[in-house]
Amino acid sequence: MRRRIAVVVSDVFLRRLTPALFPFVRSGRDYWIIDISRPVGELRKLIREVRPAGVLTEELPGKTSAILDLGFPTVVADSDEPRKGAISVDVDDWEIGRKAATFLLQSGFREFAFLGNRSNYSGQRGEGFNRELRRKGYECHRHVDSEKKGSSYMEYYRGHAPLLKKWLRSLPRPVGVFAAHDPLGRLVCEVAMECGISVPADVAVLAANNDELLCNLSYPPLSSIVIPWPRIGRMAAELLDGLIADGSNAGKVFRVEPGDVVSRESSDYTAVGDPLLRRALEMMRQRFWEPVTIQQICRALNVNRRTLELRFRAELQLSPRQELERLRVGKARELLMQTDYKMDWIAQRCGFRDAMRFAVVFRNAIGQSPSAYRRQTQKEEGAPGALARKGTHTGHFSPKRDKRILS
């Protein structure tokens, strides 16, 4: 007999989580979709009528507790609040903040700001961001957006945002701004443009969620940290099975590691004061996919290698070679996750002289071989390079056109 599961979520979460449920349908589960935006009384009535073996839902004030009160085995996604008899699954929001700080630091910024909202996840992301900056000896300017109550995640128009304009104008420049999620990141880009502030030259913007729709509707396109929704969805489904079967893990909270930064134009700026260093970094970002060497870069810049090494160490606390390899490994990770191309092809397209050198550098950086990384990530994401097999890739990379994943 097939097991009936009520999936009580918003349209946004339906898009995020349900693709991970497809394999479970083949294993005897029926997923019944209920829109969480319905009034509470209607929502509870519908769930009772479905008579599910369990419920998969999301964190939404005023709705989640009413669903839990029905007494069905329930997993709440995108929540880290312990609940009696239920399971919570969430991304590690503190780690998202830490990754944001690391990315902006590695981009050369020395002034930082955080734009959040009044949600719990925003507070945790801001705390992780600020904690990492303080650890490195930097301060953070903060602002809490006064968004309207009940505003939809996907709704964009927000009026003139006078307080946000005032805050943006007050920030030192250049500054790296981390927005708690993609809608706020897009808002920063729009408000900055209204204020005559250049993005990314004056204000570089990084957000979180990596919602492709929002990030690519933004101008300029928005850099964002990946939240691995397929992994969260699969974990939620598996945990719900156990909860239904024997109550296992009831009351527990599970956190999932966030993904990498997908770098787009909103943060594509090298914020270092040293003109030589800025030229070197820009050259690396433009040519990392070629088999260019540090010595060739030095010749192009008319500088000896020792000088370049010292400048990198002083400003970025890494070597030119480490930065070049970081860019190459970042692109390789993207290709390993999203395509089924062979290792020698990926090595060539990421600037490595051969597949053997690629494997050595990749293992040193990531801690596992490229093949092992591909198996792990494609299994987790449930998408083994489908786009590449359909021939959507052109076979040539231009860093000015292609998004880049940087760790």
Q: Are residues 197 and 289 in the same domain?
A: no
Average pLDDT across the chain, whole number: 87
Determine the Cα–Cα distance for residues 10 and 12; give it in Å rounded to an integer: 5
- Contact present, 218 and 266 (Cβ < 8 Å): yes
| pLDDT tens profile 162-204 | 899 999 999 998 899 999 999 999 999 999 999 999 898 889 9
| pLDDT tens profile 149-171 | 555 776 655 665 889 999 999 99
Q: Are residues 239 and 339 in the same domain?
A: no
pLDDT at 103 over 80: yes
Give the tokens for residue 332: 């390789």
Q: Quote the pLDDT of residue 225.
A: 96
Q: Quote the pLDDT of residue 397.
A: 32
Cis peptide before 162 (omega within 30 of 0): no
Q: Are residues 244 and 293 in the same domain?
A: no
More confident residue, 350 or 378: 350
| pLDDT tens profile 267-305 | 977 666 788 988 898 889 889 999 999 999 999 999 999
Q: Quote the pLDDT of residue 156.
A: 57
Average pLDDT in the 116-126 region? 95
Q: Are residues 22 and 133 in the same domain?
A: no
Determine the Cα–Cα distance for residues 91 and 342; give it in Å rounded to an integer: 31
Q: Quote the pLDDT of residue 146.
A: 76
Q: Are residues 84 and 97 in the same domain?
A: no
Give the tokens for residue 56: 């998969």
Distances (CA, A) of 122 to 57, 62, 78, 128, 340: 20, 19, 12, 10, 36
Q: Are residues 218 and 237 in the same domain?
A: no
Q: Which of 267, 297, 332 is the last residue of a domain?
A: 267
What whole-number percentage of the chain has pLDDT above 90?
67
Give the tokens for residue 289: 């996919």
CATH number of the domain encompassing residue 38:
3.40.50.2300
pLDDT at 208 over 60: yes
Q: Are residues 120 and 190 in the same domain?
A: yes
pLDDT at 147 over 90: no
Q: Are residues 185 and 234 in the same domain?
A: no
Q: Are residues 41 and 119 in the same domain?
A: no
Q: What is the dihedral of CA 79, 61, 211, 56, to 10 degrees?
A: 60
Distances (CA, A) of 387 to 50, 250, 301, 392: 36, 38, 39, 6
Q: Are residues 108 and 85 in the same domain?
A: no
Q: How does strand 223-226 pair with strand 175-179? A: unpaired
Total count of domains within the chain: 3
Q: If pLDDT is split at 50, 70 and 90, which confidence band does 315 have?
A: confident
Determine the Cα–Cα distance for residues 372 and 192; give it in Å rounded to an integer: 43
Q: Quote the pLDDT of residue 348.
A: 94
More confident residue, 158 or 352: 352
| pLDDT tens profile 4-14 | 999 999 999 99
- Contact present, 185 and 218 (Cβ < 8 Å): yes
Average pLDDT in the 124-131 region? 98
Give the tokens for residue 103: 């990315």
By the 10 Å C-beta count (0-12 exposed, 13-18 middle, 19+ buried), 61 is classed as: exposed
Range of the domain at 52: 3-90+229-256
- Identify each DSSP E strand in 167-217 by its residue range: 175-179, 203-209
- Contact present, 136 and 110 (Cβ < 8 Å): no
Determine the Cα–Cα distance for residues 207 and 220; give it in Å rounded to an integer: 13
Q: Are residues 296 and 346 in the same domain?
A: yes
| pLDDT tens profile 240-271 | 999 999 999 999 999 999 998 988 889 977 66
CATH number of the domain encompassing residue 285:
1.10.10.60
Sequence-separated (6 or more) residues with CB below 8 Å from residue 69? 44
Q: Are residues 219 and 235 in the same domain?
A: no
Q: Which of 238, 267, 296 is the last residue of a domain?
A: 267
Q: Quote the pLDDT of residue 356.
A: 94
Residue 115: closest CA among 87, 145, 75, 94: 145
- Contact present, 51 and 59 (Cβ < 8 Å): no
